Amino acid sequence: MANEQLGEIVIAPRVLEKIIAIATAKVEGVHSFANKSMSDSLSMRTLGRGVALHTDESGDITVDIYLYLEYGISVPTVAVAIQKAVKSAVSDMAEVELSAVNIHVAGIVPEKSPKPDLKDLFDEDFLND
């Protein structure tokens, strides 16, 4: 059976941001996301909070992830685990290859700070935008 193209498939950047956020949040040692810009911190929670996608002229996609890590973990080990998890998730779910996954550690959170729930990523109804 030959592969037949029936039309064009377009994946919104917000979908990629959500895939990246979920893959990142599931990595052991990640506490929470940091706002990627001042405008994000002034607005209500944004869907891509902590995740920024960039596409260059050649079509290469780079992602920057801003986050807080848990106290007592190895930062390089967690950062590499995030990079692998994100690249794998985006490739598996959207068949998109990322040229780079940049990790920006905004801080380390003390042990007694409660970790946000994964469901907090879905506080916003993105279908009504």
Which phi and psi angles does 101 have, rounded to 5°? -125, 105
User: Is residue 40 assigned to a domain?
Assistant: no
User: Is residue 124 assigned to a domain?
Assistant: no
User: Is residue 41 assigned to a domain?
Assistant: no
User: Is residue 129 assigned to a domain?
Assistant: no
pTM: 0.79
One-letter amino acid for residue 34 of the chain = A
Number of domains within the chain: 1
User: Is residue 101 assigned to a domain?
Assistant: yes
Task: Specify which residues 54 forms β-bridges with.
Answer: 62
User: Is residue 17 assigned to a domain?
Assistant: yes
Q: What is the CATH number of the domain that holds 54?
A: 3.30.70.1350
User: In terms of residues, how long is the chain?
Assistant: 129
| 122: nearest Cα among 36, 16, 11, 22 | 22
Summarised one tens digit per residue, pLDDT across range 15-55 is 999 999 999 999 999 998 887 654 444 333 444 478 999 99
User: Is residue 3 assigned to a domain?
Assistant: no
Q: Which residue has tokens 């907090």?
A: 120
Which whole-number Å values give the CA distances from 98 to 34, 60, 71, 95, 128, in the listed order? 21, 7, 29, 10, 28
Summarised one tens digit per residue, pLDDT across range 42-98 is 333 444 478 999 999 998 999 999 999 999 999 999 999 999 999 999 999 999 999
User: Is residue 60 assigned to a domain?
Assistant: yes
What sections of the chain are H helices per DSSP?
13-25, 38-42, 75-94
Residue 58: give the domain boundaries. 13-35+48-111
